Amino acid sequence: MTQLFKILFTTITLSSFCLTANSISAEYFTIGSGASNKINFVLGNAICKMIGKLPSAEHGTGNNSKSYRCTAPSTGSASFNLDQVQEENFQFSFVRSDKVNAVFSEQASETIKPFKEIRSVFSTSPYIFQIVTRKKSNIKDWKSLKGKKIHIGKEGSVERKTFDLLMDANRVNKSFFGITLEDGNVFKADDICNNKLDAAGLISTVPNLEIEKAITKCGASVLDLKDSNLNYIIKNNTYFSLIEISKDTYKNKEKIRSVSFVDNLITHSNVPEDTVYHLVKAVFENFSDFQKEHEAFAKLNIQQMIRQGIAAPLHPGAIKYYKEKGWM
């Protein structure tokens, strides 16, 4: 009788274990994060770290029968990441807002592959438009750029697109400037410090090392664009965000106003609602921990992340969480 009891007990225990094991499942997904030396690689892996904090039965921290796991490998260009999400090889990726807008709105281009199923989750790191000015150029605002020698960027570049929008917003054309340089050269401090230019426009994360070098070496500065009809640009181009460069970033005594692109964390409309819901939940319910993963994340603001620079419709899973929190 004792032996029979042991057999029955062992059978019941094993059956119970199997049922528990089968009831716990893990869902895996991938975030296309960019090059390993770029901020989005850190950002993608920080999100995966927050995913690991979600309560689940598997982790022994909750009753949720499903757990989530993700990886954020180093990847190539934004075009590659877009293709991977569109082909549903990756579930998520980081893509700059102007590119998201282009593929969603199916803008005509040899390099743009239409992607109407693209959905936004939230926005992340800003890429700020900055006009660097030479110390003795006497440039104090947008109007004083008139007649100056300025690098406006190559046709089709993001810098040039931004200059074009600024010119349109202020009802001027290239003749407003004295001399325009329209090549694809990357800004270098010597362009300003060696008096080759009065001003140059570039888009980058902040602070930019070459701008800092120009400021230190020859007293250059970054122009405040507060009087250049920025609101007109934002109103007509939702993939842009208003942005302020805080005091002391570039030895500036006052904040500097401009516009920025932002990276969007994007996904495919076919990605399950629960997957997107739990990703945003993991990030925003562990937001203070998330911000500690990199100094650049400390400046991220939740309301800006879910509202500004969103270039494609939000995924229903993201909307569900934002509404639960009363943010929408």
Lowest-pLDDT choice from 52-61, 104-113, 134-143: 52-61
Buried b (16+ CB within 10 A) or exposed e, 241-255: bebebeeebbeeeee
265's tokens: 């964390």
Q: What global pTM score does this model have?
A: 0.77
Same fold yes or no, 25-125+264-324 and 128-261 = yes
Q: How confident is the model at residue 64 (pLDDT cuts 50, 70, 90)?
A: low
Average of per-residue pLDDT across 21-31: 71
25-125+264-324 sits in which CATH class? alpha beta
- How does strand 241-245 pair with strand 256-268? antiparallel
Q: 192-251: per-residue pLDDT in tens?
A: 999 999 999 999 888 899 999 999 999 999 999 999 999 999 888 888 888 999 899 999
Buried b (16+ CB within 10 A) or exposed e, 45-56: bbbbbbbeebeb
Q: Rounded to whole angstroms, how far apart are CA atoms 50 and 2?
A: 49
How big is the chain by its Cα radius of gyration, in Å? Answer: 25
76: amino acid identity, one letter? G
Q: Rounded to whole angstroms, how far apart are CA atoms 291 and 219?
A: 33
Q: Which helix (H) or strand (E) holds 150?
A: strand 149-151
DSSP conformation letters of 67-130 = EEEEE------HHHHHHHHHTTS-SEEEEEHHHHHHHHTT---SS----TTEEEEEEEEEEEEE
Positive or negative, the CA dihedral 100, 102, 104, 109 is negative
> Of the candidates 61, 126, 127, 120, which has an alpha carbon nearest to the alpha carbon of residue 280?
120
Q: How confident is the model at residue 5 (pLDDT cuts 50, 70, 90)?
A: very low
Where residue 138 falls (left for φ over 0; alpha for ψ -120 to 50; beta otherwise) is left
Q: What is the CATH number of domain 128-261?
A: 3.40.190.10
The answer, yes or no, to whether the previous bond of 207 is cis (omega within 30 of 0) is yes
In the chain, what are the domain boundaries? 25-125+264-324, 128-261
Question: Taking all residues of the chain, what is their mean pLDDT, rounded to a whole number?
Answer: 88
pLDDT number for residue 19:
38
* pLDDT: which is higher, 173 or 15: 173
DSSP conformation letters of 33-69 = ---TTSHHHHHHHHHHHHHTTS--TTTTS-S-SEEEE
Percent of the chain residues topping a pLDDT of 90: 67
Do 309 and 239 form a contact (C-beta atoms < 8 A)?
A: yes
* pLDDT: which is higher, 302 or 9: 302
